[in-house]
Amino acid sequence: MEKKIVLIGAGSTSFGPSMFSDLYQSEVLNGSTVVLNDIDKEKLDIIYELLSIENEKANNKFELQKTLNRKEALKDADFIISSIEVGDRMKLWWQDYTIPREYGSTQILGECGGPGGTFHAFRIIPPIIDIVKDVEKICPKAFFINFSNPMSRVCLAIKRAVDINFIGLCHQIHFLEIHLPRMLNIKLENLRMTVAGLNHFGFLLDLKDLRTNKSLMLEFNEKAMNYFKKYEDPFEFSTLTFEVYKRFGYFPHPGDNHLGEYLQFGEEFTTTQDMINWINRTDKFNVGIYKKVLRYHKRLKEGRYPRKGMLYKVPSGERAIPIIEAIIKNENSYEPSVNIPNNGLIENLPQDLVVEVPVRVNKEGVNGVKLGKIPKNIAALLRIEATIQDLCVEAILKKSKKLAIASLAIDLNVGSFERAEKIYSKMSEIQKGYLPNFK
């Protein structure tokens, strides 16, 4: 079916071969127009040239376009997939991680939570708001998919700034999807997970065998601790996950490194070196993707582009293209973990919040599964982080220095106005030009 799909930030490693591979494996989207948009002309040209040769290999499956002009790209768009970053992502991430810790913060990663996550939000939300305001004005009926972190804060800002159809997607649930079939000896397609929470801060609340419609939670709880200790991994499920599971009774699915960003006791059950190793691993992974792209581009220019091409032949596991297909085909499919506005889905969390919950996908779009009230102890944990996100986003939208510092001070991994002011002052100095003009 011919649609117009716009990829904003098309030169980003977040897209890379995986997203483009999913696109080219889609039969539903044959004949569609795919528009590549980025602010970096060099990267945009490289991706366009590589996808042009891939498009030829696929018998010109798509009408492929590129443009630096976002407004031009958005005209008549049906679907928009956005994955942008601001500045040198890894250089800024190291600053987000190290500077707050120098002033006494106990944050463990600094990507989506803690003071590092707050500064990440300060930088990236303003340009994303500019993008979605263009969407609201130019193609208000288009469906917008965000991949940029910090996911919950970005999506909350979108919710408050504009009136468009949007979701946020993250692949963190994939960890659990890998392990459950092994643990229970049941194929993934026969399992139905109910997870709920915030992005990188979600919990498995129910698990069913679709063949019998019976709950598997008793079996899961009997096997989980022994199983995950056998496959313990500091980048996935380890000491912190086990402690939270033991104390709260529900299994957190994001993995130690992300889960710990939102907890005051995160540092107690993780090691500094593991967090440093994770940031380095992420950097190495992103550099590897970009080097692969450059390598294939060089071979293209030399006239020896590989016959098999650059793209993968199997689905990447990312859910953007399957969700677009489900909307077009009216599949009423089930997705276990999508970021959408709360609006009554979880009754005992703030309604003006973006939550990560199961959804149904059909021609009406993406509709959250109503969960009612989740366990009180889990809701209590989530409300603490929700309060921080609320104030962080409000500070950005109002350009308020007072609120910005307050959002840092109330963070569990900062805990004082004196410390917050020192962190804010230093970060404003070294990240000047990337942060909003707070007044």
Q: Which amino acids are annotated catalytic?
A: 171
Residue 291's identity, in one-letter code, is K
Q: Which strand (E) or helix (H) includes residue 220? A: helix 217-230
- Distance separating alpha carbons of residues 39 and 357, to the nearest angstrom: 33
Q: What share of the chain is helix, strand, coil (3-state, %, to 5)?
A: 50, 15, 35
CB 311 within 8 A of CB 24: yes
Query: Dihedral through CA 217, CA 220, CA 225, CA 227, nearest 10?
Result: -170
Spatial distance between the Cα atoms of 281 and 221, rounded to a whole number of angstroms: 31
Compute the distance between CA of residue 273 and CA of residue 359 in angstroms, rounded to an integer: 37
Cα dist. 52→68, 73, 103, 176, 315 in Å?
Answer: 17, 17, 49, 36, 20
**Sign of the alpha-carbon torsion through 332, 334, 340, 344:** positive
Handedness of CA 355, 242, 392, 426 (dihedral sign): negative
Q: Give the residues across from 361 on adjacent strands.
A: 333, 366
Q: Kindly report each contact of residues 132-137 with a partner whose C-beta sits within 8 Å and lies 24 or more positions away, as own/partner.
A: 132/158, 132/161, 132/162, 132/164, 132/166, 133/161, 133/162, 134/70, 134/71, 134/74, 135/74, 135/77, 135/80, 135/162, 135/164, 136/162, 136/163, 136/164
The helix/strand count (H/E) of the chain reads as: 15, 13
Rounded CA gap, 386 and 60, in Å? 46
CA distance 110 to 117: 5
Q: Can you tell me whether residue 151 is helix, strand or coil?
A: helix
Query: Which conformational region is residue 37 in: left (phi greater than 0), alpha (psi within -120 to 50 degrees), or beta?
Result: beta
Amino acid at 340: I
